[in-house]
Amino acid sequence: MMNNRYIGDLPKIGIRPAIDGRRRGVRESLEETTMGMAKAVAKFLSENLSYYNGKPVECVIADSCIGGVAEAARAAEKFKKEGVGISITVTPCWCYGSETMDMDPHLPKAVWGFNGTERPGAVYLAAVLAAYNQKGLPAYGIYGEDVQDAGDLEIPQDVQQKLLKFTKAAIVVATLKGKSYLAMGSVSMGIAGSIVKDDFFQEYLGMRNEYIDMSEFVRRLDLNIFDEEEYDRAYKWVKEKFIFGQDNNKEEFKRTDEQLAKDLETSIKMTLITKDLMVGNDKIAAKGWEEEALGRNALIAGFQGQRQWTDYFPNGDFMETILNSSFDWNGKRAPYLLATENDSLNGVTMALGHLLTNTAQVFADVRTYWSPSAVKRVTGKEPVGKAANGFIHLINSGSAALDGTGHQQIDGKPAIKPFWEVTDEEIEQCLQNTKWRPASTEYFRGGGYSTDFTTKGEMPVTIARLNYVKGLGPVLQLAEGHTVELEEDMHDTLDLRTDPTWPTTWFVPNITGEGVFTDVYSVMNNWGANHCVLTYGHVGAEFITLASMLRIPVNMHNVANDKLFRPSAWNMFGTQESEQADFRACQNFGPLYK
């Protein structure tokens, strides 16, 4: 359950204890405290953070305190051998800035300078951040608000929050590096996000791009290039666990029972084939398909589907839903990230949200803004509660993970949890509250099955979307808010106006009364594409920290300024208007891997 499914070790966190290099009294008096800080940070992070597969993060501490260039070089060499992908420097005292700093341009880096009066750790923090800025190596500065006594190894609450925010984002950056985006097919229905931008993946994420034609599915289906034992297990599980819903197609467009049975078999096989294409499968090597067994080391994939595939073959809704969920016929496991319509930009957004939170992501169309007056006109009723000022209908036929039903719980409230925290009872609830409906053949002439559920209300969530603008590059937008539930008759009336065989989430952004968050309509009106990703929790601040690490500006968010955490250099581009400063800083420093 906790194996690393991708090629390459999980990125470790390198802890660098920096110290005043003066011997014969000064350094010796600081050795124990400095190394103690490093050990305290390593312990704190390992106890509070996990990789995508549930394993606690692993920290590597430099063999000695770093008082100058030689020890900095030794630490860097150790980190290379140990597979360190993140750098955190800690110190309780003054050190020699440019002599002790981490110079690797591709390692996300942070510095915690102890706020104490006996030794000027904060002075080193200011000095080394100035050196990082001057050398064009953005670093995150961590400075506790309250003064501590010398030798105090307690990590203050505000320092803890910044360490977590930085490290979560840095793990995402280091995990993406070297992985692949697998495009299965090409551009779907002219959707811009499925025009895969190779240079974006290479320069901003450190990823490679892989491509297959959808005819590869036909070959593997015809030649049984998949694990047939797993297929039998999957088919049995599906027949036992799934609830199959009503066929809404007109009589002349309904598929026969024989066709529906074949659609289900094909959908399960497509799921197995996609998983094999992404990460490989030793079982098919044993059948003589050694090349196919290797996979593409794909952390993210996208399936074009419409229309060249779906006009003749079953759609990808089953495949996308199951792979994006945190469980299947093999039990609980990390989601496989698969974007509907090969929307690579939404696929990347899914990866950012997943790796930040270790939870399944819900891929959705940003379909409709319902104003209170429109709701009243159509239903005869006014929305109430959080929905009183209007809401947005999120709905998509494909990659809506079953976790998105909201039938998991944290403290008795609806939630989406990391797979290792999901109970067997919660899995059953997710399945029992999902119907598998014969696909609308007006959309999907080749049939298939679509996922039908309604997300439970009162979940704190964040929707996000990565867009790409010529001349500017990638831009991230996000909105924190809540899911809401409507009265049953109101829900039915509104839901039936679109395709009722698809999963529905009613979403209300948190309104601030300013800018595009003046009202719900403005949020919808300023969304940059037809898709978004829904992530559990109010994690906008974490997304913003991550975006700055990747040098991607954020053009729209409703996160309070006191929660923003970006590299120290960003303040040099202006402190009054943080959004404009973010754009200037990202443009100045450019992509991380260019």
Residue ranges of the binding site for Mn(2+)? 341, 365, 531
Write phi, then psi, for 400 (nearest 5 degrees).
-95, 100
* Cα distance from N-terminal residue to C-terminal residue, the chain: 36
Nearest to 508 by CA among 408, 416, 586, 392: 392
Q: What's the order of all strands across the beta sheet hosting 208-212?
A: 208-212, 180-184, 298-303, 337-340
Tokens linked to 141: 């500065």
How far is CA 242 from its chain centroid? 27
What is the spatial distance between Cα 11 and Cα 84, in angstroms, rounded to a whole number? 6
Reduce the secondary structure of 9-29 to three states and give it as a string.
CCCEEEEEEECCCCCCCHHHH
Helices (H), 90-227: 97-100, 121-135, 157-176, 198-200, 215-222
Tell me the binding residues. Answer: 341, 365, 531
| Catalytic, out of 263, 276, 365, 480 | 365
Tokens linked to 360: 């399944």
579 catalytic per annotation: no
Tokens linked to 562: 């006191």
Q: Read off the amino acid at residue 225.
A: I
341 catalytic per annotation: yes
H or E stretch at 297: none
Contacts of 52 (CB under 8 A, 6+ apart): 175, 334, 354, 355, 358
Q: Strand, helix or coil at 251? A: helix
CB 430 within 8 A of CB 318: no
| Catalytic, out of 203, 276, 341, 426 | 341
Catalytically active residues, by annotation: 341, 365
